[in-house]
Amino acid sequence: MFYAWIGNVYRQPIATGERTVCNCCAGELLAVVPQDNKAHWRHKAGDCDPWSEPEGEWHLAWKEKFPLHSREVPMIDHATQERHRADVFLQLPGCVGTTVELQHSAISEKERDAREVFYSARGRMFWLIHIHSETNFNAISFRCSFSRESPFEYGGSTFYSMSWYGRSKQFIEKWKRSRTYVYFNIEGHIFYLATMSACTPVVQAQKKGEFALYHVTEQQFLRSVGV
């Protein structure tokens, strides 16, 4: 995690040796200030959020686009004592809450589902999926799939229909089946994906591996989320 309350300030660590406590589990946090990564806090006894993933430049750059106090918001299910930290949680007066999950690592469909259930209970949920080539071939598949040959209109937007390149369609099928809003972030571009819940008839008509999306600007993405 990048942020914690230290004194009266919610911030990243500045120097090795700083200590504070987690505002979700009250566990001790130690400052980690590496030369080759962003300064962050580490739970001394292990992260209280089992969904946390190693974070770097991509996560921090996105979190910094949101108001400070909407970043890394702890949530507890009082019935089950389950604890999770939303990457971003916006609560505007008179509106339902909005969670944004910034996902860089691969996750299983089971975990995607569990997170959607947990965060959707608190309002709307958006995924921003980082498609990159560090650990898999998704970026290559995305580039090879990308096409503007089959546009169609749905819900007032022009989608482009395409077919996922490569033998395994698992990645694209998993995200198509999302019950929330899914955006892909690849090489500085953002795309809105037609998902089962948001664009049901579109996804129901697709064959395995087929998907539809359209390009949005960063400003449009942030406006959709509610910044």
Pick the piece of the chain touching Zn ion (CB under 5 A) from 43-51, 100-108, 145-153, 189-197.
43-51
Query: How buried is residue 30: exposed, middle or buried, by Cβ count under 10 Å (0-12/13-18/19+)?
Result: middle
List the end-to-end C-alpha distance of the chain, in Å, as a whole number. 22
Residue whose CB is nearest to Zn ion in the complex, by number: 22
Total of chain residues touching Zn ion, rule CB under 5 A: 5
Distance of closest approach, residue 110 Cβ to Zn ion, in angstroms = 23
Pick the piece of the chain touching Zn ion (CB under 5 A) from 25-33, 56-64, 129-137, 168-176.
25-33
Distance of closest approach, residue 16 Cβ to Zn ion, in angstroms = 20
25/107 with CB nearer Zn ion? 25
Residue from 4, 6, 24, 212 in contact with Zn ion (CB under 5 A):
24
Distance of closest approach, residue 22 Cβ to Zn ion, in angstroms = 3
Distance of closest approach, residue 76 Cβ to Zn ion, in angstroms = 11
Asked if 22 interacts with Zn ion (CB under 5 A), we say yes
Distance of closest approach, residue 27 Cβ to Zn ion, in angstroms = 5
Distance of closest approach, residue 196 Cβ to Zn ion, in angstroms = 33
25/202 with CB nearer Zn ion? 25
Residue from 4, 6, 25, 75 in contact with Zn ion (CB under 5 A):
25
Pick the piece of the chain touching Zn ion (CB under 5 A) from 10-18, 21-29, 64-72, 120-128.
21-29
Asked if 73 interacts with Zn ion (CB under 5 A), we say no
59/124 with CB nearer Zn ion? 59
Asked if 48 interacts with Zn ion (CB under 5 A), we say yes
C-alpha–C-alpha distance, residues 143 and 171, integer Å: 14
C-alpha–C-alpha distance, residues 88 and 128, integer Å: 11
Pick the piece of the chain touching Zn ion (CB under 5 A) from 4-12, 20-28, 51-59, 124-132.
20-28
- DSSP character string of the chain: ---EEETTEEE---STT-EEE-TTT--EEEEE--SSS--EEEETT--S-TT-----HHHHHHHTTS-GGGEEEEEEETTTTEEEEEEEEE--TTS-EEEEEEE-S---HHHHHHHHHHHHTTEEEEEEEE--SSSSSHHHHHHHH---SSEEEETTEEEEEEE--SS--HHHHHHHT-SSEEEEEETTEEEEEP-TTTSHHHHHTPPTTEEEEEEE-HHHHHHHHT-
C-alpha–C-alpha distance, residues 198 and 176, integer Å: 10
Interface positions with Zn ion (CB under 5 A): 22, 24-25, 27, 48
